[in-house]
């Protein structure tokens, strides 16, 4: 059974704070690690797909790093804004056909 | 809108009834996935299609569940004799896969099923 764990489960920050979340996953049979942002009543939105150990990706104020040897990824949000409030999901792919195993998510609330 | 669409968005049914959900993927995408999310958990894989072929089914998919993707286009997920434990958000995702490339999966907004 694959175990993908995210921490913390929930997080409350003030507007302007920087924050980060952790995703841990199996270090064997690794194909890719996905990060998604899921706002209430909307579709999950892909943030990053990471495949190489040491990968660092950035999209605006959001960035992510990947360590496949030790099985973890960090997602960073710089200068959080209320519109960043969402559930952030990481998903591990251990197959070539893209089957995803998700963590339980981190619920971020950014207070104005 | 060229994203993944799902219909209906919400479904309330009584225990024992059959329900069917539809997913329309992005038109050129050859892989289609179904996931289920229950409260407090991340989405869990149910099944996936490569074009019209269903290539893997999770143990979560009991014999009351059936999925199809005729002609490799839209997909349907049917649940027969629904139980209260089937209450969940059912998500569909699609991707264009060539060889072993692993692109992002594009998700639909989901169908929320409530079984009374």
Selected residue with higher pLDDT from A2 and B4? B4
Flag whether pLDDT at B101 surpasses 60. no
Phi then psi for residue B62, to 5 deg, are: -70, 175
Per-residue pLDDT of B30-78, as tens digits, reads 999 999 999 889 999 999 999 999 999 998 888 999 999 998 899 999 9
Flag whether pLDDT at B17 surpasses 90. yes
**Given an 8 Å threshold on Cβ–Cβ distance, is A49 in contact with B110?**
no
Angle CA B42–B106–A107, to nearest 5: 35
Q: Does B25 touch chain A (CB under 8 A)?
A: no
Q: What count of residues does chain B have?
A: 116
% of chain A beyond a pLDDT of 90 = 87
For residues B74, B76, B77, B81, the Cα torsion angle rounded to the nearest 10 degrees is 170
**Given an 8 Å threshold on Cβ–Cβ distance, is B43 in contact with A49?**
no
**Given an 8 Å threshold on Cβ–Cβ distance, is A101 in contact with B50?**
no
Question: Would you state the pLDDT for residue B102?
Answer: 64
């Amino acid at each position: 059974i694959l175990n993908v764990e995210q921490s913390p489960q929930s997080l409350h920050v003030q507007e302007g704070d920087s924050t980060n979340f952790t995703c841990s996953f199996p270090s064997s049979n690794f194909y890719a690690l996905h990060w998604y942002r899921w706002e209430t009543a909307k579709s999950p939105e892909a943030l990053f797909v990471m495949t190489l150990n040491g990968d660092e990706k950035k999209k605006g104020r959001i960035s992510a790093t990947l360590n496949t040897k030790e099985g973890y990824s960090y997602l960073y949000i710089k200068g959080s804004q209320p519109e960043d409030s969402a559930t952030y999901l990481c998903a591990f792919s251990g197959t070539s056909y893209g089957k995803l195993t998700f963590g339980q998510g981190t619920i971020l609330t950014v207070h104005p | 809108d060229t994203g993944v669409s799902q219909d209906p968005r919400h479904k309330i049914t009584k225990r024992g009834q059959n329900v069917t959900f539809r997913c329309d993927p992005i038109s050129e995408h050859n892989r289609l996935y179904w996931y289920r999310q229950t409260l407090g958990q991340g989405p869990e894989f149910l099944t996936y299609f490569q074009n019209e072929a269903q290539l893997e089914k999770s143990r979560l998919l009991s014999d009351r569940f059936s999925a199809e993707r005729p002609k490799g286009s839209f997909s349907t997920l049917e649940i027969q004799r629904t139980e209260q434990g089937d209450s969940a958000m059912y998500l569909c995702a699609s991707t264009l896969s060539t060889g072993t490339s692993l692109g992002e999966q594009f998700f639909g907004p989901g169908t929320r099923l409530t079984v009374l």
